[in-house]
Amino acid sequence: MHPRYMHGAATSPEVKVYAYAAAQVKKALEVTHYLGGENYVFWGGREGYQTLLNTDMKRELEHLANFLQAAVNHKKKIGFNGTLLIEPKPQEPTKHQYDWDVATTFSFLQKFGLTGEFKINVECNHATLSGHSCHHELETARINDILGNIDANTGDPQVGWDTDEFLTDISEATLIMSSVVKNDGLAPGGFNFDAKLRRESTDVEDLFIAHISGMDTMARGLRNVAKLIEDGSLDELVRKRYQSFDTEIGAMIEAGKGDFETLEKKVLEWGEPTVPSGKQELAEMLFQSAL
């Protein structure tokens, strides 16, 4: 919010602002370490641009990478063993934020050799803003081994900004908890209520109701995941859908040994493939039956 960061912090075109941001993060990391913190989240709300006409994107991205590497170096220097996380968001307050979504952020980390140093803090409302579901963002982080923390909130798909509402959708909570279970948990991360009351909710009890409802929603989601796992029908549906890759030729492809010449010979031998149903309606029914 400070005017010095109107053009960004690590991506500011002014070197004095970059240095000021570095000094602030240095102090914040040291205080986190002193207090026994286990996680430190970077949210680059102004690490982006309003227009490319006055922006050197390549230079700004390189500056951001150097800033994050310096944070890693200082973390190690002071002996802080906590997790560093990046929280993606596509826009607001900038028109375009460089850590648009999980996939974009992972690509950035790969390009600059930072994948082993950072994990992702997924905020569900930010997923909505980027055009994804929270489940999509969680799965993208999970399969790339960078899921570290969740801002457990939700947004309104009918509005184009960050509403930070408490999570109350049991279906969404079940999908979220499914990713968490598949990830073997989030430790040392966890769930953070980056949420607030509606402006019209003015009674003191509303604050308690909101938090209780949010926690109960996640608990119900976890119970539903347990039902789905114990039943096993949805997992079996997914397994059967890919069972052709459990064959010898499928295993060869998944091992990276499926050359085009071999596959061409197989096609001539097999002829036109028979493509089975995706069974989406059945998958949806099995999922809903657990709610």
Mean pLDDT over the full length of the chain: 96
Assign domain 3-206 one CATH number from 3.20.20.150, 3.40.50.150, 3.90.1150.10, 3.10.20.30: 3.20.20.150
* Residues whose CB is less than 8 angstroms from the CB of residue 146 and which lie 6 or more positions away in sequence, other chains included: 102, 106, 109, 115, 118, 119, 120
Instruction: Reply yes or no on whether the pLDDT at 162 is more than 90.
Output: no
Task: From 164, 9, 155, 32, select the one nearest 85 (Cα to Cα).
Answer: 32
For the chain, domain boundaries:
3-206, 236-290
Q: What is the mean pLDDT of residues 200-220?
A: 96
Instruction: Reply yes or no on whether the pLDDT at 161 is more than 90.
Output: no
Instruction: Reply yes or no on whether the pLDDT at 108 is more than 90.
Output: yes
Instruction: Reply yes or no on whether the pLDDT at 1 is more than 90.
Output: no
- In degrees and rounded to multiples of 5, residue 209 shows phi and psi of -60, -45
Q: What's the pTM value of the predicted model, to 2 decimals?
A: 0.94
Helix (H) / strand (E) element for 39: namely strand 39-42
* Residues whose CB is less than 8 angstroms from the CB of residue 142 and which lie 6 or more positions away in sequence, other chains included: 179, 182, 183
Q: Six-digit token pair at 234?
A: 């949805």
Q: What is the mean pLDDT of residues 6-18?
A: 97
Instruction: Reply yes or no on whether the pLDDT at 81 is more than 90.
Output: yes
**What pLDDT is stored for residue 142 in this prediction?**
98
